């Protein structure tokens, strides 16, 4: 088997450690994502899926356990190394899109590529292609404030994929979308996954969507179990 795109093992995370309000969110959570596979992460609200996604995406550090991305163990890596791997290998779609308000949709999608040294024309051409794949090429010149919630979500999705990451981590990426648009975004994702060997972990409450993914995992009492 090829090397996992992402491997988490023994992940522990407690908020407010040592205080009376201590919350032990992750208790030995573990999962492995293979390239070219879309995995659903289903969890009730508050179960810790955002915490797990942030740790997997190197935005937060666990109290214990290891995070490997593309076979590289990130435990104890410097902030600089974590930032480099995050930018190059991880795409993130957040629940709230975090688009930059002063830039157009096209620029928002092109920026991560520019940060990695891609020239403007090439970055914008790819951005346009991605926006087209989710049906919003005609909105490329609009700023986020002039886009609907669902359009913003699609821009965020394109931005996450702009640098052709190894791993896509998404928190309710189709939450604001109507069923037809959600299908379209999901189809675009599946095409990319099959074409590029991207590994995707998609947190969702939508069981119908989860049923269409390759694999389903559940976050339960701080551990990850197969559904
Ligand atoms: N920075 C923090 N400090 C203290 N507690 C936190 C912090 N972040 C999250 N928590 C708590 O940890 C638990 C898990 O939070 P998390 O955001 O990971 O849940 P979630 O499964 O993503 O929830 P939702 O589906 O509602 O977004 C919750 O009880 C939350 O209140």
Q: Is the CB of 26 under 6 A from ligand 1?
A: no
Phi and psi at residue 215, in whole multiples of 5°? -150, 150
Mean pLDDT within 92-100: 82
Nearest CA to ligand 1 atom 31: 46
Nearest CA to ligand 1 atom 26: 45
Nearest CA to ligand 1 atom 6: 15
User: What pLDDT does 119 receive?
Assistant: 95
Query: Which tens digit of pLDDT belongs to each residue from 113-172?
Result: 998 899 999 999 999 999 998 889 999 999 999 998 888 888 998 999 999 999 999 987
User: What pLDDT does 148 receive?
Assistant: 86
Are the C-beta atoms of residues 108 and 132 closer than 8 Å to each other? no
Element (H or E) spanning 226, and its range? Answer: strand 223-226
Query: Which tens digit of pLDDT belongs to each residue from 11-40?
Result: 999 998 888 889 999 999 999 999 999 999
Which conformational region is residue 58 in: left (phi greater than 0), alpha (psi within -120 to 50 degrees), or beta?
left
Q: Is the CB of 41 under 6 A from ligand 1?
A: no
Please tell me what DSSP assigns to residue 145. G
Query: Which tens digit of pLDDT belongs to each residue from 176-225?
Result: 678 888 887 888 888 888 888 999 999 988 888 899 999 999 999 999 99
Q: Both tokens of residue 193?
A: 């996954």
Tell whether the model's pLDDT for residue 1 goes beyond 70: no
Domains along the sequence of the chain with CATH = 34-61+76-215 (3.40.50.300)
Query: Which tens digit of pLDDT belongs to each residue from 55-90?
Result: 999 999 999 999 999 999 998 899 999 999 998 999
Q: Is the CB of 43 under 6 A from ligand 1?
A: yes
Nearest CA to ligand 1 atom 23: 46
Evaluate whether ipTM surpasses 0.90: yes
**Choice between 100 and 2, residue whose per-residue pLDDT is larger:** 100
Q: Both tokens of residue 142?
A: 């609009």
Alpha-carbon 151 to chain mean position: 17
Distance, CA of 138 to CA of 131 (rounded, Å): 9
Ligand 1: residue of 16, 17, 23 to mutate (most ligand atoms within 8 A of CB) is: 23
Nearest CA to ligand 1 atom 25: 45
How does 101-127 read in b/e, with b if 16+ C-beta sit within 10 Å?
eeebbbbbbbbbbbeeebeeeebbebb
Q: Is the CB of 49 under 6 A from ligand 1?
A: yes
| DSSP symbols for 22-77 | -EEEEEEEEEEE-TT-EEEEE--TTSSHHHHHHHHTTSS--SEEEEEETTEE-TT-
């Amino acid at each position: 088997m090829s090397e996992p795109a992402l491997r988490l093992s023994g992940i522990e995370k407690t908020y407010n450690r040592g205080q009376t309000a201590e919350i032990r969110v992750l208790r030995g959570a573990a999962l492995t994502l293979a390239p070219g596979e879309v995995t659903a992460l289903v969890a009730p609200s508050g179960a810790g899926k955002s915490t797990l996604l942030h740790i997997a995406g190197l935005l937060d550090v666990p109290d214990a356990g290891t995070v490997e991305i593309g076979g590289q163990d990130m435990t104890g890596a410097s902030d600089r190394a974590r930032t480099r791997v995050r930018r190059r290998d991880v795409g993130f779609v957040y629940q709230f899109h975090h688009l930059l308000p002063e830039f157009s949709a096209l620029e928002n999608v092109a920026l991560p590529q520019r940060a990695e040294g891609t020239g403007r024309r090439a970055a914008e051409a790819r951005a346009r292609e991605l926006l087209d794949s989710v049906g919003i090429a005609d909105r490329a010149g609009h700023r986020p404030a002039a886009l609907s919630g669902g359009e913003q979500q699609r821009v965020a999705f394109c931005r996450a994929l702009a640098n052709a990451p190894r791993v896509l981590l998404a928190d309710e990426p189709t939450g604001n979308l109507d069923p037809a648009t959600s299908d379209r975004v999901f189809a675009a994702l599946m095409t990319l996954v099959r074409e590029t060997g991207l590994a995707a972990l998609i947190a969702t409450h939508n069981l119908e969507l989860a049923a269409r993914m390759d694999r389903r995992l559940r976050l339960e009492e701080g551990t990850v179990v197969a559904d």
